[in-house]
Amino acid sequence: MGLLQGKVAIVTGGSLGIGAGIVHRLAAEGAAVALDFHTHRDAADAIANAITGAGGRALVVQADVSLPADTQRLVSATVNAFGRLDILVNNAGIEQPTPFANVTEDQWDRQIAVDLKGPFFATQAAFRQFVAQGGGGCVINISSVHEELPMVGNSVYCAAKGGLRMLARTLANELAANNVRIVNVGPGAIATPINATTLADPAKTQALLAEIPLRRIGQPTDIANAVVWLASDQASYITGTTLFVDGGLMIYAGSL
Ligand code: BGC
């Protein structure tokens, strides 16, 4: 029996990259999964079809996480389809690295809206559902090493991810009375569309690899495996912290 048998999960940004990896792994562990997509309907449908074809349960919902009404609709659609909600994975995110002096108000608004406001209100909608069904539940934010590690030329993204760090720590206190856990997973460099430009450039890839003690770029499954475990009852005493899944990038100390 899967680690998440009988559980119901939502994954935002579930059609691509890390999100798609998480959707597959949650479903493989027995969860019914609602996967939200913003733009890539075909990719979302293909994932859902693969899951249902293998005997699992999946639902595709279009939602822009930056709109609280959309995330509320996502939660409602999930509960209508599967009867309850146990796990929210706030995965959707965008990144627009730009030197500080050139950042526009639009870039600030969009990144903060998707990367920070989105998880805030999606969590609020999920929490209300958790309370309505008697408490218990788990929220996993896909944050980044950059919730703690500064990155030159990426100030807005770092501000958003730093915000997610304090959001998790604050809500872990506030929601504990309802037995709701909130945990961040902090990926390092993972092979996904968000990283495509860097990974298409051999020099940039080599420079990145040089700062990763395990000397490889991560895969979505590396993150998904951590999410499955953190969302399961095996991690029932874990809340308010961050698990970095980064090949050691966070603690890189140079070479001999
Ligand atoms: C960013 C990637 C970056 C990685 C390591 C991630 O949060 O999305 O672009 O390569 O952190 O710096």
User: What does pLDDT average to over the chain?
Assistant: 97
Which residue type does 178 have?
N
> Is the pLDDT confidence value at 90 over 90?
yes
For a substitution probing ligand 1, which of 96, 116, 146 has the most ligand atoms within 8 Å of its CB?
Answer: 146
Give yes or no for residue 83 having a pLDDT over 80: yes
Q: Which tens digit of pLDDT belongs to each residue from 205-250? A: 999 999 999 999 999 999 999 999 999 999 999 999 999 999 999 9
Q: What number does the ligand 1 atom closest to the CA of 161 have?
A: 7
Between the CA of 127 and the centroid of ligand 1 the distance, in Å, is 29
Report which protein residue has its CA nearest ligand 1's atom 3: 189
Please report the atom of ligand 1 found closest to the CA of residue 151.
12
- pLDDT surpasses 90 at 255: no
What confidence score (pLDDT) does residue 17 get? 97
Q: Given ligand 1 and candidates 143, 144, 152, 251, which is best to mutate, with the most ligand atoms within 8 Å of its CB?
A: 144
Integer Cα distance of 25 and 231 in angstroms: 11
Is the per-residue pLDDT at 256 higher than 80? no
The pLDDT assigned to 75 comes to 98
DSSP assignment string, 193-254: GGGHHHHT-HHHHHHHHTT-TT-S-B-HHHHHHHHHHHHSGGGTT--S-EEEESTTGGG---
Which CATH code fits 8-191+219-248?
A: 3.40.50.720
pLDDT band, very low/low/confident/very high, at 106 (cuts 50, 70, 90):
very high
Token pair for 173: 């206190």
Is the pLDDT reported for residue 110 higher than 90? yes
Domain boundaries, the chain: 8-191+219-248
Asked if residues 187 and 145 have their Cβ atoms less than 8 Å apart, the reply is yes
| Mutation to probe ligand 1, out of 154, 165, 190 (largest number of atoms < 8 A from CB) | 190
Measured from the Cα of 195, ligand 1's closest atom is: 9
**Rounded distance from Cα 177 to ligand 1 centre (Å):** 34
Confidence of residue 144 (pLDDT cuts 50, 70, 90): very high
Of 42-56, 99-113, 138-152, 189-203, the range with the lowest mean pLDDT is 189-203
**How are strands ordered across the β-sheet holding 58-62?**
58-62, 32-37, 8-11, 87-90, 137-142, 180-187, 242-245
For ligand 1, the distance from its centroid to the CA atom of residue 206, given in whole angstroms, is 14
Q: Report CA(43)–ligand 1 centroid distance (Å).
A: 23
What letter would DSSP give residue 117? I
Give the residues surrounding ligand 1 with Cβ less than 6 Å away.
95, 144-146, 188-189, 194-195, 198
Residue range 155-167: mean pLDDT, rounded: 98
For this structure, is 157 an active site residue?
yes
Please state, in angstroms and rounded to a whole number, the distance separating the CA atoms of residues 56 and 203: 42
Q: Could you tell me the pLDDT band of residue 1, with boundaries at 50, 70 and 90?
A: confident
Q: Rounded CA gap, 147 and 252, in Å?
A: 16
